[in-house]
Structure 1
Amino acid sequence: MLPKITTAIAVFGFLSLQGQAQLNVQSGATFFMQAGAQVTVQGDVQNAGTLNNDGSLRVQGSYTNTGTYTGVGSTGALEMYGTGNATLAPGAATNIIQNLIINKATATDVVTLTASTTVNTAFTLTQGVLTTNPTVTPAVALVSPATTPYTFAAGKEVVGSIRRTGWSNGATRVFNQPNMLVTTNAGTAPTDLTVTMIPNGDPTQGEREVKRKYTFATTGGTGYTANVRYPYAASELNTNTEPGLVPWTLVSAEWNARTNAITRDAGNDWVNITTIPAAELTQEWKLADQNYAMNVTAYLRGNWNNATTLMRNTLNTGNRIPLAQPYNAAPFNYAGTEAVGSIPNANVVDWVLVELRKPASGLPADAVIGTLIGRKAGFLLTNGTVVDLDGVTPLSLPINKQGTGNFIVVRHRNHVSAMSFAKASNATGDFTNNFSSLANVYQKPAVSLPVALLPGNATLYGLWQGDTNGNGAVTAADISLINTVFIGPAAGNTNVYNVRDINMDRNVTSADISLSNSAFLGAVNGSSSKIAIGALQSAPERKPVISHVPDEGNEIE
């Protein structure tokens, strides 16, 4: 059996002492280790006296200090080694450990700090886990000057809080692992900066997230910005994809994506962001994929073919669909760069624009264009499915906020837009709405239906046809635009991609006037009769179709 050493008197000059079961320094005693000496204790160390360490104290069990831990220079090292979990209780804040080494036998052996521990000269994590137990003792931290080097073996990291003191601008500092980095610039630097990182942690709220939590705390400082590198593990990704990862910050109980000045390294599992304002830095942060799958179904009434219960793909078969999204001009003013080398699917009908709006009130009436949190153009297939540029997968929409009260809007260049009821974002990263069901489409009070029954169909609805000028309503002005072209040169009406081509057969004809009039009259019985050019003057009282999407068609209501 290994001996247990209890010192009740002053002990000087230990050069080497190996294989002790326990070391107990009683109150009033001094245990002195000279430079170059090594003491290995295979059990616990308890110090109630003075432990003067200029050598190396290796502890396999727990280390508890209620006395004084000191040394003459900066060479003294405390090494937590061997098998099994252990605790490290440093005692008073004045008990500074010059060199702390965590070198346990296996990756699952855990050393837990029970109080904040100051390490001045160097910290090394070779094997095992060091934790400050942040969910139980959130005030505990590993504390070091900003310039103290931290060394980690591959794949090793500290769980919990690390505080760097004597902070200054312009230098990149390492925290919980080699890729948990922070730099501050400009303004007045804080005097210290704390990072709390919890691997396999659970960020606030049940949203889409990488299972790792980050918080930051500072003392002092104003007007500075921060560059932060956020590490993660592949096992924490959940439904997130690495190319879509961005940092998110929790502000007023709402997650907000930071999408500018982002760099990613999927090989080394980190995301970097620059120029975070000081006020934002001290919020809770996480990583998450900003790209949400939009499982959207919608039909265009003007293009419906009831015989096949599909929309026609005539624009596609005639090579009239542009290769770049067509919504970059008024009234859509969408600056997206979506483009393809060729139309990717024979069943593509046309481009559509999908938006996600999130008003602060959560009310549909407030979901105006200024509440956009994401928009993207995609392809509409003959069966009503909206797909991404590959022509197959659901539209992947980058968004910049998470939470409840989201409204999906689907827009088309010559049909009236429609909006869903409120949707909550979720942990799986998708939104779903089938606009062919009237129950899934938001309707303003005291206004006619937001979508129309498809001709010859008793259950399916489609977007109202005929909004030629894109003002959110079908009025005489839209029909006049078709009339103007229809009576013009034939060359301008044939084999075209034109907003006046309401039925999307590549030609502007009386059939397009008829379709627009059917919406304008509210006559949704699927009539295909042609209306003469001069019929406007003799038409009965009109009931214009108006968009139910907020801030569209307001001048008509």
Structure 2
Amino acid sequence: MAMVSNSTALAQASCVGTATLNVTINTCVTGELVKATALLQGAYSTGGQMQVSSGFFNQIPLTQPYQSAPWGYGGSESIASRPANMIDWVLLEVYNAADTSLLETKAALLLNNGSIVDVSYISNPTVGGVYFQSVVANSAYYLVVRHRNHMAIISRTTVTLPNAGAYNFTNFNNVMGGAPQVANMGSGYYALLAGDYSANGIISVVDYNGYAQLPLPPPNSYVDNDFNLDANVTTADFNLYRPNSSAIGMPAIRY
């Protein structure tokens, strides 16, 4: 039988190895991906692109701003930082096909090219839409886009989800109610109508009163009466409101 000296045995017993283990944890986003594109009249630039002032961009909240009335949305969507191509927060909603009742709402990021994307875009810029947990795959729904001070729009027809290509709200033929529901920006692009301060789906004197309220907010403010998203309330905002006054949104999505 082989013998081991006491000194050798002690050395072997006291030997401790160390190793570094790198673990990658991927956050799993569940649900069906819903894709849509839309433009805001107030932020529109040219060629299907939008832009906002640096003053406005720096005031965009990191947490979704739709908690208050009339939206009353309690979602916890937030971002750690603003992507450079972000225009503002919007709400994307899915409505049941049978009775146009609301199924689910998500707060999302509106990018300068009109893409509406999930907050997971911050960590995964390849995401091309918004995840909805209540959507049943291969079923048809109406889609709705809402913004703080632009009139909401709803898809002309139902959309089978998940959709491979984004539903294009920049084409008035894809909007229920057609051209009167959107602003003609030229070159075939249409956008949500600016001036719905109350966000109730009707642009009226109520919205003018919201625009004209005193005192005026200080410069570089994120406020609902800033219709052109330049972080200031001026006559430029009134000039957006005026031609849109008396616009009435579709009944199914008015507050």
Show CA shifts across 1:3-31 (max 9, x none).
xxxxxxxxxxxxxxxxxxxxxxxxxxxxx
- How many angstroms apart in 2 are the aligned matches of 1:386 and 1:401? 17
Aligned mate of 2:213, from 484, 499, 522: 484
Q: Alignment length, in residue pairs?
A: 225
Aligned mate of 1:295, from 32, 35, 45: 35
Q: Secondary structure at the match of 1:467?
A: coil
Partner residue, 1:388: 118
- How many angstroms apart in 1 are the aligned matches of 2:113 and 2:27? 31
- Aligned pairs for 1:505-544 (under 5 A) are 505-520=230-245, 544=246
Q: Secondary structure at the match of 1:384?
A: coil
| 1:469 pairs with 2:198 | yes
Q: Which runs of 5+ in 2 are unaligned?
A: 1-25
- How many angstroms apart in 1 are the aligned matches of 2:160 and 2:154? 16
Q: Which amino acid aligns with 1:382?
A: N
| 1:413 pairs with 2:148 | yes
Q: Which amino acid aligns with 1:408?
A: L
Deviation at 1:431, TM superposition (A): 7.0
Aligned mate of 1:450, from 167, 181, 194: 181
Deviation at 1:294, TM superposition (A): 2.0
Aligned mate of 1:433, from 143, 157, 167: 167
Kept in 1, the 8 Å contact 2:56–2:222? The answer is no
- How many angstroms apart in 1 are the aligned matches of 2:49 and 2:227? 16
Closer/same/farther in 2, CA of residues 293 and 471 from structure 1, 3 Å limit = same
- Aligned pairs for 1:74-223 (under 5 A) are none
Kept in 1, the 8 Å contact 2:108–2:116? The answer is yes
Aligned mate of 2:223, from 483, 487, 498: 498
Closer/same/farther in 2, CA of residues 398 and 459 from structure 1, 3 Å limit = same
- How many angstroms apart in 2 are the aligned matches of 1:462 and 1:354? 15
- Rg: which structure is higher? 1
Partner residue, 1:348: 86
Partner residue, 2:16: none
How many percent identity over aligned positions?
Answer: 30
Partner residue, 2:76: 337
Q: Which amino acid aligns with 1:334?
A: Y
Closer/same/farther in 2, CA of residues 298 and 424 from structure 1, 3 Å limit = closer
- How many angstroms apart in 1 are the aligned matches of 2:89 and 2:27? 28
Kept in 2, the 8 Å contact 1:316–1:346? The answer is no
Show CA shifts across 1:498-520 (max 9, x none).
00000000000111111100211
Show CA shifts across 1:36-95 (max 9, x none).
xxxxxxxxxxxxxxxxxxxxxxxxxxxxxxxxxxxxxxxxxxxxxxxxxxxxxxxxxxxx
- How many angstroms apart in 2 are the aligned matches of 1:406 and 1:438? 18
Q: Secondary structure at the match of 2:166?
A: strand
Kept in 2, the 8 Å contact 1:417–1:549? The answer is no
Partner residue, 2:254: 552
Kept in 2, the 8 Å contact 1:354–1:411? The answer is yes
Kept in 2, the 8 Å contact 1:354–1:375? The answer is yes
TM-score when normalising by structure 2: 0.80
Partner residue, 2:18: none
Closer/same/farther in 2, CA of residues 387 and 472 from structure 1, 3 Å limit = same
Q: Which amino acid aligns with 1:416?
A: M
Closer/same/farther in 2, CA of residues 305 and 328 from structure 1, 3 Å limit = same
Partner residue, 1:101: none
Kept in 2, the 8 Å contact 1:317–1:346? The answer is no
- How many angstroms apart in 1 are the aligned matches of 2:196 and 2:28? 38
Q: Secondary structure at the match of 2:78?
A: coil
| 1:328 pairs with 2:30 | no
Deviation at 1:346, TM superposition (A): 0.6
Closer/same/farther in 2, CA of residues 242 and 512 from structure 1, 3 Å limit = closer
Q: Which amino acid aligns with 2:72?
A: N
Q: Structure 1 or 2: larger helix share?
A: 2
Q: Which runs of 5+ in 1 are unaligned?
A: 1-240, 245-288, 521-543
Kept in 2, the 8 Å contact 1:465–1:516? The answer is yes
Q: Structure 1 or 2: larger strand share?
A: 1
Closer/same/farther in 2, CA of residues 356 and 458 from structure 1, 3 Å limit = same
Deviation at 1:424, TM superposition (A): 4.5
Deviation at 1:473, TM superposition (A): 1.1
Deviation at 1:318, TM superposition (A): 4.3
Partner residue, 1:375: 105
Closer/same/farther in 2, CA of residues 509 and 242 from structure 1, 3 Å limit = closer
- How many angstroms apart in 1 are the aligned matches of 2:135 and 2:197? 33
Q: Which amino acid aligns with 1:295?
A: K
Q: Secondary structure at the match of 1:449?
A: helix
Deviation at 1:242, TM superposition (A): 9.9
Partner residue, 2:44: 304
Closer/same/farther in 2, CA of residues 342 and 420 from structure 1, 3 Å limit = same
- How many angstroms apart in 2 are the aligned matches of 1:549 and 1:430? 29
Kept in 2, the 8 Å contact 1:437–1:459? The answer is yes
- How many angstroms apart in 1 are the aligned matches of 2:114 and 2:60? 17
Q: Which amino acid aligns with 1:296?
A: A
